[in-house]
Amino acid sequence: MTSSKLRLGVAGLGRAFTLMLPTLANDTRIQLVAATDPQPLACAQFERDFGIACDPNFEALCANPKVQAIYIATPHQLHAAQVEMAAAHGKHVMVEKPMALTLDECTRMIEATARAGVVLMVGHSHSFNAPILKAHQLIQSGAFGRVRMIHALNYTDFLYRPRRPEELDTRAGGGVIFSQAAHQIDIVRLLGGGCVNSVMAHTGAWDAARPTEGAYSALLGFEGGAFASMSYNGYGHFDSDRWMDGIGELGQTKNWAEHGIARKRLMNASTASDEATLKASRNYGAAQWSGSLALPPNAQHQHFGPIIVSCDHADLRPTPQGVWIDGDFDVKLDALEPPPLPRSEVIDELYNAIVHSKPVLHSGIWARATTAVSLAILNSAQSGQIQIPTHQMPPAY
């Protein structure tokens, strides 16, 4: 296939889409040609922004002859069936994390896209971030010896952002394990060699009004002897962006005056219905939608909290500015230029896979292995026993 714009349709114009919106609107390799969403306000906003009327449903999007690939950004529980339908129509697929809620669903998605001969890529996860990819390259170079230990942690207000009821139900993919651990697991698997052979974990569900996991700590062992500790707390007190030079997860400078804003917004929602309405009011095209197609000013690289990779001859620390290398005899920053547009690494991988037939790092089989570790965290916390996750694999490159 010769180089050309990738004609992309979007399924789901919610939060995940809005985070990708500046990238999709400004990356010259992408042409948005279609979308679908059950919310009329979102569809109306898409038509205003792009001059394109939404398709009436997902099947119509799949059948749309203008669409070459579909970005599936719908609720977690819909991913498997929608990937299968897209593949049956010969469409390449980028599906949001988490890939799915069960390993059987992941396998169905992999097999469906393989039969159809189409690309399946899973993302965005923060393992796409340029500083993480740079750290991976430094590790792969062999200059610092073997990876021995990884520490990753993140403190956010995730659990107190307005939610629909299913987002607070673990069985439906709610809570921090499916939505947030996928980021952290992807990162430590990429840096640790990919193949996790043991998981011991604890989870926290400390608010009866929000009955799902809001925190976890897990110890992961890797083939070859490396190990990683991961901790995440989404209960909205300490913000670990203070340890990232005041740069937020999306690369923006944090406004510390907004501390506690998530809880403050929830004070206006006394019922689950109120909270769902509050969330909907801030969605794409809704009354309080304040997003933009424009690129964010002065953005730095995105991140998912502090990470330190201990190798034989250096500790590597990915940051929004690059990778700090604390070596045997000196300390230096392997700096990265500020990103020309956010999440361009996602389009790099998707475009090169579809247009240039390059290997996919964040493939279905990679994401299935991450899902297996997520499920092992839940199972370990419930059983109090070490779990051995299945379907593990090393990075493709």
Q: What is the pLDDT of residues 211-238, one digit of tens each?
A: 999 999 999 999 999 999 999 999 999 9
Q: Are 156 and 218 contained in the same domain?
A: yes
Q: Are 265 and 197 contained in the same domain?
A: yes
Q: Are 327 and 351 contained in the same domain?
A: no
Report the pLDDT averaged over residues 143-147.
98
CATH of the domain at 52: 3.40.50.720
How many CA atoms lie less than 13 Å away from 340 in the CB half-sphere?
A: 7
Q: Are 345 and 335 contained in the same domain?
A: no
| Domains contained in the chain, number | 2
Report CA 155 to chain centroid distance, whole Å.
16
CA distances from 221 to 29, 199, 242, 313 (A): 39, 7, 29, 21
> Of 72, 5, 75, which is closest to residue 33 (Cα–Cα)?
5
Contact 240, 156 (CB under 8 A): yes
d(CA 24, CA 18): 10
Q: Are 255 and 365 contained in the same domain?
A: no
Q: Are 335 and 345 contained in the same domain?
A: no
pLDDT of 376 higher than 50 = yes
d(CA 86, CA 107): 15
Q: Are 264 and 165 contained in the same domain?
A: yes
Q: Are 204 and 235 contained in the same domain?
A: yes
In the prediction, which pLDDT does 3 show? 56
| Residue 302: inside a domain | yes
| Residue 1: inside a domain | no
Average pLDDT, the chain: 96
| Residue 195: inside a domain | yes
Q: Are 303 and 366 contained in the same domain?
A: no
| Residue 166: inside a domain | yes
pLDDT tens for each residue of 71-121:
999 999 999 999 999 999 999 999 999 999 999 999 999 999 999 999 999
- 3-class DSSP state of 217: strand
CATH of the domain at 153: 3.30.360.10
In 10 A of CB 256, how many CB atoms?
A: 10
| Residue 385: inside a domain | no
Q: Which amino acid is at 120?
A: L
pLDDT of 2 higher than 50 = no
Report the pLDDT averaged over residues 354-362.
97
Q: Are 268 and 302 contained in the same domain?
A: yes
| Residue 383: inside a domain | no
Q: Are 87 and 197 contained in the same domain?
A: no
> Of 133, 128, 243, which is closest to residue 191 (Cα–Cα)?
133
Q: Are 228 and 302 contained in the same domain?
A: yes
What angle is formed at CA 149 by the lines to CA 148 and CA 152, rounded to 5 degrees? 155
pLDDT tens for each residue of 24-47:
999 999 999 999 999 999 999 999
Question: What confidence category does residue 1 fall into, taking pLDDT thresholds of 50, 70 and 90?
Answer: very low
pLDDT tens for each residue of 283-303:
999 999 989 899 999 899 999
The model carries a pTM of 0.96
Domain boundaries, position 172: 128-340
| Residue 379: inside a domain | no
